[in-house]
Structures are given as structure tokens and as C-alpha cells.
Structure 1
Amino acid sequence: MIRRRPGRVRRALIRLLAGATVGALAGLAVAQAAPSATAAPAGSAVTVAGRGEFKDMRFTVDRTSHLTSQAIKVSWTGGTPTTFAGTSFNTDFVQIMQCWGDDDHSVPGNPGPPRTQCQYGASPTTDRGNWPGNQLDDTRQVFYSADPTNYGEDNRYGAAQPPGVPGEVPFKSVTGETVTTNTQNNRFFNHNTTNEVDFARTGANGHGEEYFEVQTANEAPHLGCGAPVSQNGVTKPRSCWLVIVPQGRLDLDGKPYADHSQVNAGSPVSSTNWQNRIAIPLRFNQVGSNCPLGSDERPTTGSELVADAVTSWQAALCPSGKVYGYTELGEPDTRSRLGTDKTFGLGFTTRALGADDGTSAPSGTTTYAPVALSGAVIGFTIERRPKAGAPEDIRKQAGTKVESIRLTPRLVAKLLTESYRNSTWGSVLGGKAAHGYGWAKNNPAGLASDPEFIALNPEFAYLSVAETPATDTDLMTALGHSDSARAVWQWILADKEARQFLSGVSDDWGMRVDPYYSTNADLNPSGLAFEPAHVDEYPKSDPWCTVPPGTDAPKDARQCMTDFHPYVDDMHAGALHTRRADTLWKSTWDPLSNPPAYRSPGPQTVGSRFVITVTDAASAERYGLQTARLRNTAGTFVAPTATALTEAAKSASGKDVAEITPANAKAKGAYPLAQLVYAAVRPGSLKADARADYAALLRYAAGAGQVSGADPGRLPDGYAPLSRTLRDRALRAADALLHYKGPHSTGGDSGSGGTGGADTSGGTGDGSGGATSGGTSGDGGTGADGGASATPSAQASYDGGKAVETTAAGNTPADPANPLRYAVPVGAALGAFAGLGAPFAGGTRLRLPLRVPLPGGRTVTVVPAFTLPERLRRRLP
């Protein structure tokens, strides 16, 4: 029997009335603040079938809409295993390219672009000894034939050439400029910039997979993908095409190639091969700003860990009149500037001001709001190249990607300290070590041959890796100071084995640390101990310099460690170059250049790529990198999944900003390099309108900005949504900004918001750092507008450059078909309806006072704080 408590109906009526009122007003407010365009759902996977010889093949692209500069996965089934002529691809492989333009009507039933408008054919022009192409299948060269019967022959181009001399299929840019000769290294794209996939292997099981780097108009302006185009008064981002050309083993007369000993494949843009092409439309987010002209920009600066999230949020906030610039800056520098520069605005950090060695928190109020949960990762592109005599199951996987590896803190320490024998390239030759490098003589050549690594990743005992500075002897790292670098070193120091290795103790197999990184001053040639506890960068301390062996360079053309292992600008760049398998090492001496110099050989050869990097989880996801499982304090190897990031966040602690430290992330499922990112603001230095705008950003970040998804405005892959506790803390920080009443605040603050120091609680077991810190004393001065500029920044500051400009989809605010005219009445009606249902939703305490955000960062108090009579109170969980 159910007992009904006295007054239950009365309480339900009260909650019903409050819920309906709040719902209606909230619906109205949301309608007023709604952006002028709504984003379409994220693109789903597309699967298409081949034709003719390839009719049994099925090609799947995992994402085809809402694209920006990123990697998408192309996979296929039902193929015939690839064959080789020596080391060159011979038959049954796949080629992939990106193209622009309208349907050329060349393949009935499968619309696609003209072959002259495809970015393809930029293979190496020199040093092709290890390149697996025949200079036809990897270029735009074709042989003319009025009635072509062989792959690579063409019925149009090359007719003016003498017999036996190839012609070239022209390339036409979106601007109309056309290249007709020397297309292999043309002014629009070359071997170092093209995204074409010349050779993708089909495995023994008929399956294949390749990650394809999609390029927008910023990276490939000659394709123009994502650039705004207007048609019939409507402006939309330009769509493009992904084109797949399978190469087979039959001539067009249906008979097999007669000679299997030679390479038979021809150019995929020849008229014969083009008949087999499969074209899939690609739809892009608009490149460039979708912000209203003339809007003031509120600058935000700081941690790269939040870059992809802020870029996404910008796209959703711009149409509603909120313009937020973003400039990447290392967290230590961000904290320094935020504490001293009164025009700084909002900074993103993982630590509180004053947390760095030799610094102290500034006087006055600093407001902190948790906005993102992500972390540093070890990302990689590794392909299997079996050794002679490898087991059959390993040999069948030749050319496929390694999906996962396990790494310990000591293994990462070995990579970061340049301790592998071939890291100091040329220091050990023919079994003889250079002076001072006897320590390297008996060390493994690289990670792939390290017994510790093989014990954790057994298949590498059967894989062949060219262990050079361009592969497995070091990690590609970013230049500069960052909290991510600090977290990596803190993770290393939390491990006893790694600490012992750094101090000079050999590992179980006799490997020794490069003494220039020894924490034992007696072993370190510099006479000083390396102190990773105070390091927030990736130093290259070894002074080794030499002429790289085998280059035939003159004696004065020496290279040093920053040449062998170049820095990248940031973690985003590390992910991009790892996807391209390009370590940036200029390893080839060119005596014919003016002046003679080293040059880059470009990306590594397909089938034997091996590049590893320290990057962030969002960039790794963006470019489709595989990521390592790292051993945490509990001894568990954990991947950087959203669940593992969330588990790590539970261990966060600290007074004003709760930090995740690797040593304290002791749960078995906690990812050790997870980091919470906070927005930090000095409200005493800002005018009321700037504080209101930053409060609006925090509200969005804590609300819709925590919904995972690919649409603009959502939380991209590589982030874990914040817990309810953290989101509530961010909202309270937004309130603290909005209602700040310090002695130097200016402008018309409204409401009775608190003063500084409203919430200085420490961590609560879920990573919830304090919302504000400091007292109410001002910072001096009369306040600043946050450094706003009249127009939004056109370019993001982190590497990839214009690749990460604010992107947005949908109509512009001036669209005459703007659905916003229905937003107010419909929003209010839906709000009232939602209010009626609110009392029955349950599960959440109604927090008072209840404020509803309005456009411009303003709020209205809908339900003030009050105390119910004792008889109406109910104990809530």
C-alpha cells in the first residue's frame, strides 16, 4: 500500500506553478538568444559499391559532412589482395584524392567531378629509389590512344606527343588557372603539401583502410572546399568530392595482364582508369568567420588543450552576436600575463595563478571556471613491415596499421632523453662510439628493438623498422613551455623505474640514460643535475653534432639534435605531421641547390611508416591517430577515452584550481595525462560589458558546449563532458563575473551578485576547483575593455594556421528565410510546455535564486531566493 504524505498535492502544485513560469520565461529567453541558423546533424558514414571488375568491392567513408581540416577513414572490403613487382605496387590497390567541381557526367549513375579538377600526381621527382610507383600510376602522365584498351591510356590528352612519349592530364584550379605541363611539381600542390593517397594496400582478407587528410580552402585554396559561394541569393560553403580509383589486374578487354613481372598500373586520372572511379560528395563547414560585421571581439588566450573546443563554440556563438577570439599561448605564459596585464581578458589554464615556481598569486580577485576535460596523448602512425621469417599471421598483416601500443613512463623517458643509440645519429658507427658516447654503444637502436617495449608489444619482435631519427628514436614534440609537458614529466617522475633510469641506473636489459639528462649531477657532463620536477618543456640537451652518415655532405655541413629531431610549433602540428608521416628532418643533402643545403625527403613511404608524437587528445582524434595505452599509478595500461579522462578527473585536488596529478590518479581506469582546463578572469580589470560577455561564454561552455558531437558548437572528440558538479561550478563563476562589485568595477552591473572570494573551496573528489580566489581589493587602474578589437581575428594562432579558422555552417544572419522570426512565440510556447513537465522530471534540486540568461550576457532573476514555510519543505537527496 502506498501512503500519501499530507501536503503532497500542495507541493506538487507549487512546483507545477514554478516550473511552468520558469519554463515559459526560459523558453522566451532562449528564443531571444537563439542563433540565426541551426546546424545540421553530423555526417554519417557512406558506403558505395564498385563497378565492373570491382563490382564486389564496398567502400565506406566514415564521415562526409561538417568537415574541416581533419582526417576521415576510408575502408573497403571485397577486394583482391595487392600484388607487387619487387617493391613497387603492381595490381589491386586503391588510390584516393580530393577534387572540386560539378558532375562531369562521365559515369552515368555516379555523379563526380572532372578528372582535371583533382589534386593528384605530386609524387617525388627525384630520389625515387624506395618509392613504390612507376611514374605513371603516381602522376598525371598518360599515353594517348584514340581507342584505349589498357589502363593508363587516354583518349584525349597526349595526342600531340611523339609515339611512346607520355602527355599529361592538366590540372584546373578553382580560380580557373590551369597547369598543363610539369604537373608533378606544380605551383598549386607538391609532394609535401598534397593529400593524395597514391597507394593503399588491400590485405590478404580483401580488406583495406586508409586515413585521408581532408583539406579546406585554407590548406588547398586551389580546391576551394568550404569557401562561401553564393547561388540564387543563398550563400553556402563549397562542397567537394572524395574520389576513389581502384586499380585492378585486367585490361579493358577483360583479359588479364600477360606479364606479371612488371608494373602495369597507369595514372588514375587517365580516361580508362577514370571510368572505374567512385565519387563521394564531401560537405564542409564554412571557412572563415560567420560573425556579424562590426561586432566587438572578446579575446581569449591560453592552453592549446581547449583550442578545438573553443573553435567549435565560436561557431555557435558568432551568429548570436558573440565574437570571441582565441590565441594559443603556453599556460605558464598565460598565467604570467594574466597576473600582470590588465587588458588580458580571459585566459585558459590548468593551474592557478601563483602555482609556478618563483611566482605568487596576484592580489585581488581571480575567477576560475572549469570548461574542458582533455589531456596529452602519445599519438602514432605505425605500419607493419614484417621481417623475413615472420609468422604467417604477421606476414598477412603487412602494410596494415598498428592500432595500439603499450608504453611505460620509463619507455617515454628513454624517448624524451634521446637515449636510444640512433637518436644521436652517427655517434656509434661500425660498433665504435664517438668520444663521450660509450653509453650509447650497447643501447637499443630505437624503441622498436627495445626489449622492454617488445615485452609489452610482442608483435614488434617480427616487424622491421628503419631505426633512424625519422622513426622510433625520439618523440616529435612541440617547442615551448606548457602544462602538458609538465604533466608528462610528472607522470614519469611518479614511476620508480623511470626515476631510477633518469638517475643513471640501467634498466633490466642494460640500457642507460643519455648522461646529459641524468638527475645525478656526478654523471651529468654539464655538472648539473637534470631536474624534471621543474621542467615544463621538452629540452634537447645533448650537444651532439655531426655530418649525417651517408649524405656525402661537406665536413662543415653539420647537423645537431634539433636538426635530427626538429620541434613542431604545437601539439596540433605534431598530430598533423604524424598523420602525414613527415618528421620534418631534412636528411638529404642537395649539392645542386643554391646554396647547397639539406632538404626534406617528404613523407615516409607507404607500408613502412613509423612516426610518434606527444599531442593532445583532440588533435589526435581530429587527424585519426592511433594512441598509446599508458601505464598509470595503479599499474594499468589505459587509453585516453572519455571514460578514462572522467575517472582521472575524480582525483583532482587543490584549493582554487583542482589539478589532476598523475601520482594521484590511482584508479585502475584513470588516464594518467588527463587535464582539466579552467577559464581564468581578473574581473577587477574589466568593464561590466566585458565581464558579461565572458560570463556568456562560460555559460555556453558549461551548457550546450558540453554536448559531444561534430556539429559546430558541440564538444569535439578528444574531450570528456564535464561532470554536473564542474558545470555548476562554471555557472557560479559566470554569476560571480556578472555580478562582481569590486572597488574598480565599472559600468552598470545588475543584481546583487557577490563580491570576490565567494567560493574558494578545494577539490571535491570530482575535479571541482574553486570558482574564485582572492579578496575584494582592486588591482589598480580604472578597468579595461579586455582588449577587444573592432572585427574578429581571421586566423587562429596555432599550427595548421587557417586550417582552424572559425568555421560555421548554415545561413547568414541576413538570410531572408531566417527561421528566427518563429523563435520567440515557439520558444515561449515550448518553454511553457516544458515547465508543465518539469515537476515530473525529478532528480534535480531547484537551485535558487534562479536566473535566466538573456542576449548580451545579461540575466534576469526569475525566482528569487526564499525560504518555504516549514510545513512545505521537503528533504531532497
Structure 2
Amino acid sequence: MTPRYVRTALGTVRERLRRGPDTSAYPGRPHGRPGQHPGARLLLRLTAGAAIGALLGGVVAQAAQPATAASADQSSAVTASGRGEFAGMKFTVGQTKHLTSQGVSVSWTGGTSTTFAGTQFNTDFVQIMQCWGADDGTVPSNPGPPRTQCEYGASPTTGRSTWPGNGYDDTRAVIYSADPANYGRDNRYGAGGNFGQGEVPFKSVDGTVITNSTQNNALYSYNTTNEVDFARTGADGTGQQNFEMQTANEAPQLGCGDAVRTSGVTKPRSCWLVIVPQGHLDLDGKPYADPTQVNAGSPVSSTNWQNRIAIKLDFNLVGNSCALGSNERATTGSELAADAMTSWQASLCSTGTVFGYTQLGEPDARNELISDGSAGMVFTTRALGSDYGTSAPTGKTSYAPVVVAGAVIGFTIERRAKSTAPESVQKQSGTKVQSIDLTPRLVAKLLTESYRSSTWGSVTTQHSGGTSTQKAAKGYAWTLNNPAGLVSDPEFVHYNPEFANLAVAENPGTDTDLITALGRSDTARQLWAYAESDKTARQFLAGVPDDWGMRVNPYYSTNPDLNPTGIAFDTSLDSYPKSDPWCTIPANSGATDKQCMTDFHPYVDDMHSGALHTLRADTLWKSTWNPLVSPPSWQSPGPQTVGQRFVLTITDAASAARYGLQTARLLNASGKFVAPTTTALTVAAATASSTDSGVSPVDPATQKAKNAYPLTELVYAATRPAELKAAARQDYAQLLRYAAGAGQTTGSNPGELPPGYAPLSKALRAKTLSAATVLADWKTTSDSSTTSSSGTTATGGTTNTTTGNGSTSGTTGATTPNASANASAGPSSTASYGGGTAVETTATGTTPADPANALRYAVPVGAALGLLAAFGAPLAGGAGLRSLPLPLRLNLPGGRTVTVLPRLTLPGRLRRLRVPGRGGKDGTPLG
């Protein structure tokens, strides 16, 4: 498992162990979870400690720096010209400063249209890679790195029948094929003699050198590299590619953003983006001897490297961003707030307080705050007590708007023209689709695995007497009249007529579903609510076929008479269940285990991960049986083939902007297709209805504003003031003031509101400032206690009083949200301890990213530390833990750090705890 934040994993494991088995995947069963048996607490602590520790170790190769959007920083865009054969080309990199793990647009003009030899790239294409190191001095007019320090050559080693490369232009191998006299003639690395071949070695930033077997080596592979082997130039001579920037956390072998000290000054390590255009000449500088054969040359071979264009990249510092010894306040909850929180933290830590952030599904975060207020501050889109089986706590709960966010359907789709398509469409093959339109019913079809290829193998084609017939497995006759996927769905083509001339590979890893995140979230609830907001979608879910005869997968039918379980599927969900139990062993696969729905449609850890995998065009479909691993298993072959990519995901607007994803326009309640623009989010937020709880939800069914985006979500910071100490209330009030003030400035610099969010309106900012005043002025009967449930509150702000049964007895302050102005979000990063009380910390974390290489001893060491924490946490004041160098923190790939064992400020009840054989000679309390 490789979650966005280690603390996401910690929170998820802890919550799932506490609640018991997750029954959300079984339709019709209640979503409430059984409570914890008291006798299981010790076992729970030990199991959770070891599991969380091992999980922490397993994901140590993870994370990243504050979020920015692809091509967001226009002031740092750089354009460079080609040389020699490519002197007429100009290449533009959309952002070159303040870089982190993100997507950046690389575009070019003045090229020649790409040609193919069959399905393989032949002439006039572009290759892109990321490199480290100082200028090697070989091209004074265009400084750049040596070719040995570029991450390239990790093309697939299996399944190459559909791969558009020939094993040379997509590797580090150097071979000359145009003239037999030139075999092996690289100026340094080619082997001598006829048919000789060498490999350009790769040198890591730590000095490790890989000299052979460089393809999918120990440092990077096809599944982790960010190289672009083939980027197409269109008929008009232009091209564009979103390039995944990798920091030292995702690519430690490059070290981009790591702290380096030069002449007494510490700065982040800069890196290079290198572009190598391929033209009409072979490696010896002569035209191809056989024009039907593909270019046989690696971009890192000496002759191709002479044409390289290098552009310097400046990264944000990876790792610690706050001063040693800073105090930390815990915040928990919605992933929708993650990028904003991460950005703000760098500015807020200068005040002396670090605001830690634990990403956790909103329902679970609300449960934590209900239980005893231990989360300190929770980010949520719904009020406490709004989840099945929960009740709002007694006393005051304050809600302050912090971000206007949105869920989006992001995609990477490349045009693949049908053979019957007009020439004008054929010329666009391989280029990216920029926009698609989706209705609630189309979203429902994707969420319910209702396309024929979704239950892969449930329909087989049988040939007899020169005719072909389709046969469905028992219980799957409903699939026979359903389209294979979205592209062949007449409803989709009706709204997206361009696709009438486009094709897609028919398999479960393309257009049959959406990449979704595992776990419970308010975003999942919003998606289901959107599907339910439309009459035709509701009818489809109930079993009524659409206008072309397509039917819902019966396991998702809200009609119990059609649902094989005999229970109606419940769409008031906060998750994405895989309700269909279909499994199969494909014929002639040699497999001994079945493929099931989570193999065809794997979950990702969170929406950020979904966005990153969509940029990479990797659906994670486990399509390949590998008998050589132990135990043998189904595995993913990696990203889709260039020019044929089709991936859809549910993610948040900030993650989509960060990775430069295209996003779908959705049909809103007024009958208009609307994209998730800043304006559309702002308009939708203004439609939120005021409630007694102080939370104004955005309902896609009631958004009558013409330009409202239907999946807009308004995120609140919720606190229970009476549960907090005075110092904690002051710190959280400071956070809210920043969120309503400086944090509302849109931009990609640390401390600003990242692209993908809409600034809060003037009225919403006023509401947040009022809530900050309530927190700062709150008085309890004893501010030395963290558990007081009584007290008085200052006037103003947005608070509610409940009696414990979920009902509200009053709301103070507050104005209804409207769309009249600007602003936005909050901080980021670390673990939460002791009811929001401060713990001394050594650093802060930043933003997430996808995993790099796991450290060899991470899992066993993590498990050991987890067990230590499990035993030792209640005794943290004792001599055993006092002897450790606390706080104990780990730097994580992605720029974050995590506190493994903190320097705890224990609550009074634990400091007064006496344990036999521990403490002072007279039995004095621990701590």
C-alpha cells in the first residue's frame, strides 16, 4: 500500500481496526460498524502498533512538496530553440521554478509531422527525460547535463507486441544500423566489432553506476520512470505533453530538490529537463538505408545527444520546512483540503506553531471529533452526527469555511481513429482529447460497472460455421445488449459526437469505469448524490433500460426484485463498493488463481493517487499472470501504450490542476454542461443552503444556477471549543484567520491558495473570522482541562449546541454563503496527539506523491517501532522512552516527515498514572 500521506495510512488502519470489518462493499447492509470489544483493546494496540509500524515502513518511499498546477507559473516558463536538423523548432516548458511532484506542460512548434512504420514511431517525434548534475560544457549555447545522468531507458521488457518502440529508441542501448561499417560506433560506450552493442550507463546522484542491464534497473523501472519515450508531432508541426516532475522523494536517484550546501549556502538541488527530437537521420547522420524501418537510435547515443535541448529546473526544498522545536497542532480530515493545507503550512510555521495534517476520510474524522475531541480540528463538508449510526456530541461545535473545492472526473484520452474515419480525423490520431461531457446517468453507468467489458470474461465469443455469437456466463445475460464501454455507448456519443469516429481497446482497463479511492469519503457521497439527482439516472439504477436498451449491473440495482442479493442497493453511500462478485480464470492464461473485480478495477489510496495514475495512464489493471513470483499472482503491466491511452478517475480539482489533467464537463440541474472552473465553483458554493448545524452543504439536485458546477464541495474546519485548552484555541484561531486572509490569494507559491480551488467569498471569509473570534475568546470552567464540556462562548462565529442526539439547539453568528468575493484554504502535514495539545516537533511535512523505491529495512524496522509505540505510548513518561532521542522522526520521499515517536506532552490523567514497578521510589506518578 502506498498512500498519499503516511498519516492517512495510520489513521485508516487505526480507524478500521477500531470499527471492525468494512461492510460497505455489501449492498443492503448497514454502514454502521460494530464497536470495539473491551477485551480486545490490548490486542488492538499491539496489532495496530505492528501493522501501522510496518505500514509506515512500507510507505517510507512516498510524499512531496506543496501542490502546484501544471504550467501554473507562467512567469517561469522557458522557451528554447532546437539546433541543426531541428533549428526551426521551439520548445516551451510551462513552469521551471518552484517545482515539486506535479505535471508540467511541454509543448513545441515548427516540427514535422510524425511518421510511422506500421504501429511503431519512425521519424519526427520527441523524447523527454529528467536529469541531474552540473553543465557538462559540451554545448556552450545550451548548458545541460551529461547523458549518463538522465533517467531514461525503462521501457517494458514484456508485452511489447503493441509497444511503439523497437528496443533501441526506448532504451539506453547504442547500436548503428544504417551502415554495417558503423556498428557499435558510439564515441565512448559502443562495443567494437561487427554487430557490436553497448549501453550508456546511468549514474545516480549518490554515485551508484549501472553499466549494464540498464533497462528496468534497480533504481527505476517502467512503472516508476517519468520518461516520455514517444511524443507525437501533429500535422501542423506542433505537439504537447504533460511531463511528470519528480522530486528526490519520487526519484532519489536524481535528488531533485534535496538540500545541497555550496559555498556555505544551502539550496535545493536543481535538475534539468532534456528534450531530444528525433528526425530523418540515423545514428551515423545519414538518411535511413531502409525507410520502412524505424529509427534504431537511443536518445542518449552520442549522435542523437548532440541535438538535445536542456532546460534548467528549480525545485522547492524537499524535506524540512519549519524550524526545529516548533510546537505542533493537530488537524485531521478531508483530502479536499490537503493541497491548501500543505501550501499554508510553510507560511504558518514562521509563527512558531506547526499545524499538522492527517488526511482521513471525512466520516472517520467526524467520528474522531465526536468521540472526545481528540482530533483538535477536523476538515469536513458535513456536520457532526450526519453519518449513519452517529449522533452529534453535546456542547458547542464550531464550523468555519476554509476552502471551496470540487470533485472532478479527470482523464487522459488520446484519439485513436477508426479505420473508416475521415482523413481529417486520422491526422489527429494520438493527440489528446481536451473535453468530454457526462450526464448523471453516464456517471451512474461508470460507478456501477455496467458496461460489458467491465465484468471481463463474463461474455465470450464463440465461432461456429463461419459465424460468431456471444455467450454470457450464468447470471450475466444482462451484459449482452450493453455497450462494451463508454466510447461505444450511444448516449455518450450523442453528447460527444467526436467519438463516433474514435475507437478504444475493449478491456476493463480503459473506458469501462472510473479509478476510485478506497475508503469512506464525502466525495463518494457527493458522486452518488449527483447520480441520484437526475430522474433518468434514478430510473436506470432501478432497472429501467436507457433509450438504447442498456441496463444497470443488477448487483447495483436499487430494485430489490432485480438485485441478486434480494436487497436494494443503497445509493446513500460514502464509498465506491465493488458489489459484483464476478471472478474468472481466463482461458489459456495458465493462472491458478481467479481474476476478480478488484483485479480488473483496482482501488487507489486516495484521489491524489488517482490523478497521478491518470497522468501516467496507468489504471493498475492486473491483467498479467506472473508464475515466477512467490506466490504466483496477477500483476499490472504498467502504463498504457502511448497514442492509445484512455483513463478516467474521480479526483479533486486541486489534484487535477496539479497534474495537468483534463476534466469532464458535467450536466447540472439547470441542464447545462459545466466545467470545474473557479467561477463555476464559486457560483455553486453560493447555492448552498443554510442549516441549523452551521454547515451549508452543496446539493447537486438543487443547484438551479445556470453556471454552477454540480460536484462543488464547501469544506469547513470543525472544532469543539470546550474540548480544547486555551493555548490550542488561540492557535486554531490563528489558523482560521490565515485561511480567511492571506491564504485566499490564488497562486502556486507556498502560503497561497493552489490552483483548483475557488477563493472564499467575502461572506464566507467573514464567517471564518467570526468563528476564529469564538475560539480565541472562548472561556471554560477550567482552561487547564482539555475535557471541559461547559462554558460560555463569545458572540459571533458559527457554532451549534447539541444535546447528544444529533439535534441542534441554536446557531450563533453566521451569514449564508454567497459568491461575492475572493479567498481560501489552510496548512498541512503531521501527526496528531493528545486531544490537539501541542507536541514538540522537529520539522513539518509537505505534499504527497507516488511511491519511489522502498527502503530495504523500512517494513521490519517500522513494525518494531510500531510495537514499541504500542507498548510504550501509555508509559511515555517512563525511563524507557525517555532514554530515546525523542522526538523520533523519519524523512519521507515526497518532502514530508513523520513523527514515529513524539516528545509527548501527556494529559494530566496519564501523568498521574502509577504503574507497578515504574516511576519514583515512592510510587510517584509517571511524567
- What is the TM-score when the length of structure 2 is the normalising length? 0.78
1:548-627 aligned within 5 A: 548-549=586-587, 552-554=589-591, 556-627=592-663
Matched, 1:135 2:167: yes
Report if aligned partners of 2:283, 2:297 keep a CA contact under 8 Å in 1.
no
1:230-309 aligned within 5 A: 230-251=261-282, 255-309=286-340
- Residues 39-84 of structure 1, C-alpha deviation per residue, up to 9 Å, x if partnerless? x987521111101000000111111111110000001011011111
Report if aligned partners of 2:409, 2:651 keep a CA contact under 8 Å in 1.
yes
In structure 2, the partner of 1:789 is 839
In structure 2, the partner of 1:540 is 578
Structure 1 pair 519/251, CA: closer, same or farther in 2 (3 Å)? Answer: closer
- Residues 641-669 of structure 1, C-alpha deviation per residue, up to 9 Å, x if partnerless? 00000000011112211111101211110
Distance in 2 between residues matched to 1:479 and 1:246, nearest whole Å? 41
Q: 1:805, CA displacement in angstroms? A: 3.6
Report if aligned partners of 2:282, 2:296 keep a CA contact under 8 Å in 1.
no
Q: 1:376, CA displacement in angstroms? A: 0.5
Task: Report the AA paired with residue 590 of structure 2.
Answer: A
The match for 1:689 among 715, 727, 744 is 727
Secondary structure class of the residue paired with 1:60: strand
Select between 148-157 and 470-479 the one with higher mean Cα deviation. Answer: 148-157
Structure 1 pair 141/687, CA: closer, same or farther in 2 (3 Å)? Answer: same
The match for 2:490 among 418, 431, 451 is 451
Structure 1 pair 217/797, CA: closer, same or farther in 2 (3 Å)? Answer: closer
In structure 1, the partner of 2:812 is 760
Select between 637-646 and 320-329 the one with higher mean Cα deviation. Answer: 320-329
Select between 125-134 and 668-677 the one with higher mean Cα deviation. Answer: 125-134
1:45-124 aligned within 5 A: 45-124=77-156
Report if aligned partners of 1:344, 1:787 keep a CA contact under 8 Å in 2.
no
Matched, 1:730 2:761: no
The match for 1:433 among 469, 472, 475 is 472
Matched, 1:350 2:381: yes
Distance in 2 between residues matched to 1:720 and 1:254, nearest whole Å? 53
Distance in 2 between residues matched to 1:162 and 1:744, nearest whole Å? 87
The match for 2:567 among 501, 519, 528 is 528
Matched, 1:705 2:737: no
Matched, 1:638 2:671: no
Task: Report the AA paired with residue 222 of structure 2.
Answer: H
1:360-371 aligned within 5 A: 360-371=391-402
Select between 248-257 and 43-52 the one with higher mean Cα deviation. Answer: 248-257
Distance in 2 between residues matched to 1:217 and 1:348, nearest whole Å? 30
Report if aligned partners of 1:328, 1:797 keep a CA contact under 8 Å in 2.
no
Structure 1 pair 276/634, CA: closer, same or farther in 2 (3 Å)? Answer: same
* Matched positions, count: 748
Structure label with greater radius of gyration: 1
| RMSD between aligned residues | 2.5
In structure 2, the partner of 1:862 is none
Distance in 2 between residues matched to 1:754 and 1:240, nearest whole Å? 53
Task: Report the AA paired with residue 634 of structure 2.
Answer: Y
Task: Report the AA paired with residue 471 of structure 2.
Answer: K
Task: Report the AA paired with residue 721 of structure 2.
Answer: P
Distance in 2 between residues matched to 1:314 and 1:646, nearest whole Å? 24
Distance in 2 between residues matched to 1:436 and 1:564, nearest whole Å? 19
In structure 2, the partner of 1:194 is 225
Distance in 2 between residues matched to 1:364 and 1:415, nearest whole Å? 42
Report if aligned partners of 2:184, 2:196 keep a CA contact under 8 Å in 1.
no
Distance in 2 between residues matched to 1:501 and 1:151, nearest whole Å? 63
The match for 2:499 among 460, 465, 482 is 460
Secondary structure class of the residue paired with 2:555: helix
In structure 2, the partner of 1:800 is 850
Select between 584-593 and 689-698 the one with higher mean Cα deviation. Answer: 584-593
Distance in 2 between residues matched to 1:228 and 1:50, nearest whole Å? 32
In structure 2, the partner of 1:479 is 518
Q: 1:165, CA displacement in angstroms? A: 2.7
Matched, 1:677 2:677: no
Q: 1:704, CA displacement in angstroms? A: 1.0
In structure 2, the partner of 1:821 is none
Q: 1:189, CA displacement in angstroms? A: 0.3
Select between 759-768 and 330-339 the one with higher mean Cα deviation. Answer: 759-768
Secondary structure class of the residue paired with 2:76: coil
Report if aligned partners of 2:767, 2:815 keep a CA contact under 8 Å in 1.
no
Distance in 2 between residues matched to 1:740 and 1:680, nearest whole Å? 15
Secondary structure class of the residue paired with 1:116: helix
Distance in 2 between residues matched to 1:693 and 1:169, nearest whole Å? 55
In structure 2, the partner of 1:648 is 684
- What is the TM-score when the length of structure 1 is the normalising length? 0.82
Distance in 2 between residues matched to 1:409 and 1:81, nearest whole Å? 39
Structure 1 pair 443/784, CA: closer, same or farther in 2 (3 Å)? Answer: closer
Distance in 2 between residues matched to 1:509 and 1:806, nearest whole Å? 51
Secondary structure class of the residue paired with 1:652: coil
In structure 2, the partner of 1:830 is none
Task: Report the AA paired with residue 391 of structure 1.
Answer: P
Report if aligned partners of 1:660, 1:675 keep a CA contact under 8 Å in 2.
yes
In structure 2, the partner of 1:872 is none
The match for 1:407 among 435, 438, 445 is 438
Task: Report the AA paired with residue 417 of structure 1.
Answer: T
Report if aligned partners of 2:399, 2:717 keep a CA contact under 8 Å in 1.
yes
- Residues 745-797 of structure 1, C-alpha deviation per residue, up to 9 Å, x if partnerless? 3399xx994496595357625289xxxxxxxxxxxxxx966143321566569
Distance in 2 between residues matched to 1:763 and 1:497, nearest whole Å? 36
Q: 1:800, CA displacement in angstroms? A: 3.1
Q: 1:91, CA displacement in angstroms? A: 0.8
1:799-818 aligned within 5 A: 800=850, 802=892, 804-805=894-895
Structure 1 pair 480/744, CA: closer, same or farther in 2 (3 Å)? Answer: farther
The match for 1:488 among 522, 527, 538 is 527
In structure 2, the partner of 1:163 is 194
In structure 2, the partner of 1:18 is none
Distance in 1 between residues matched to 2:539 and 2:754, nearest whole Å? 39
Q: 1:798, CA displacement in angstroms? A: 6.0
Q: 1:163, CA displacement in angstroms? A: 2.9
Structure 1 pair 485/423, CA: closer, same or farther in 2 (3 Å)? Answer: same
Secondary structure class of the residue paired with 1:184: coil
Q: 1:319, CA displacement in angstroms? A: 3.2
Q: 1:320, CA displacement in angstroms? A: 3.6
Report if aligned partners of 1:151, 1:265 keep a CA contact under 8 Å in 2.
no
Report if aligned partners of 1:149, 1:251 keep a CA contact under 8 Å in 2.
no
Q: 1:456, CA displacement in angstroms? A: 0.6
Report if aligned partners of 1:152, 1:271 keep a CA contact under 8 Å in 2.
no
Q: 1:250, CA displacement in angstroms? A: 2.4
Report if aligned partners of 2:763, 2:817 keep a CA contact under 8 Å in 1.
no
Report if aligned partners of 1:201, 1:208 keep a CA contact under 8 Å in 2.
yes
Secondary structure class of the residue paired with 1:729: helix
Secondary structure class of the residue paired with 2:274: strand
In structure 2, the partner of 1:383 is 414
Structure 1 pair 148/531, CA: closer, same or farther in 2 (3 Å)? Answer: same
Structure 1 pair 666/730, CA: closer, same or farther in 2 (3 Å)? Answer: same
Distance in 2 between residues matched to 1:189 and 1:253, nearest whole Å? 29
Distance in 2 between residues matched to 1:351 and 1:251, nearest whole Å? 62
The match for 2:706 among 652, 664, 668 is 668
